[in-house]
Amino acid sequence: MTERKRASPFRTAMRRLLHHRLFILGCVLFGIVLFVAIAAPLIARVDPNKLAMRAKFRPPGADFIFGTDNFGRSLWSRVVWGARLSVLIGGAVVAINAVLGTAIGAAAGYFRHLDNGLMRINDALMAFPAVLLAIAVTAVLGPSVNDVIIALAIVYTPRTARIVRSSVIVLREMEYVQAARAAGAGHWRILRHHILPNAMAPLIVQLSFLFAYAVLTEATLSFLGVGAVPPTPTWGNIMAEGRQYMTDAPWIITIPGAALMITVLGLNLLGDGLRDVLDPRLRIQQ
């Protein structure tokens, strides 16, 4: 009797993702932003902070593709380098969340005696309105890119930890985990080989949305003047500076705003696609 070879779950997921049109659109949009961020030194050679007072308020055109701002700085350079900062901050927050959120969530979900204490602190951090907590943390730490990353990690890690904990609590009681325990496997081995690989799907989905939240919140902090200090070319900073000139030079606001929207839209579409394929329980029905 011949047994049909079963496709690996990874290949099945990849095949379904490649047929998900909105996921592909999300990949394309975010791929463009990622490319721009990585290639910034090559595609925007002009220093984003280089002043050229004679060229201020130039509208988008042949000389300056995105125009210039109130100090004659090239908006193309500033938006491109802004993409680099957004991707850097979003990526760093996601990386910290992936490590810390998984560690806290796994510890709370797996070790029952830790659950109550860890989750009460988690709940308390989640009770704060996200932007207000981020503002308060940057007020304490100071306004720099690194401090914004720490602030956003503090705000969003509890949300990731909760999702990992939910998965771990269910997986902990599975028969195959109990079998591994009966066979003498240690806690670390059970967590690493049997529980965490199966808790990855909701985590990956959460992290893709988290990237979008981090980029949005960072832009909000910069816009309010409590993020990275000007003239750091974050999209929020560019828009905050452009606010005073929005009647005469609206491109200073509309272009970085559009870049921000494309990034967040791409990440949201990507997250939707990942959720539909990897975590179908949460699917927005098609």
Nearer to other proteins, 21 or 192 (CB): 21
The candidate with the shortest Cα–Cα distance to 93, out of 200, 211, 178, 230, is 211
Q: Any contact of residue 21 with other proteins (CB under 8 A)?
A: no
Residue with the two structure tokens 């659950």: 115
Nearer to other proteins, 44 or 269 (CB): 269
Q: Any contact of residue 225 with other proteins (CB under 8 A)?
A: yes
CB of 46 to other proteins, least distance (A): 25
Q: Are 36 and 49 in contact (CB under 8 A)?
A: no
Give, as ranges, the residues between 82 and 141 that touch other proteins (CB under 8 A). 120-121, 123-125, 127-133, 135-136, 138-141
**CA dist 92 to 95, 215, 273, Å?**
5, 11, 22
User: Rounded CA gap, 271 and 214, in Å?
Assistant: 14
Give, as ranges, the residues between 264 and 283 that touch other proteins (CB under 8 A). 264-265, 268-269, 272, 283
Q: Any contact of residue 216 with other proteins (CB under 8 A)?
A: yes
H helices present in 39-74, as ranges: 40-43
Q: What is the distance, to the nearest Å, from the Cα of residue 32 to the centroid of all Cα atoms in its chain?
A: 16
Nearer to other proteins, 44 or 226 (CB): 226
Q: Any contact of residue 229 with other proteins (CB under 8 A)?
A: no
DSSP 255-270: HHHHHHHHHHHHHHHH
Instruction: Summarize as ranges the residues that interact with other proteins (CB under 8 A).
Output: 120-121, 123-125, 127-133, 135-136, 138-142, 212, 216, 219-220, 223-226, 239, 243, 246-247, 250, 253-254, 257, 260-261, 264-265, 268-269, 272, 283-285
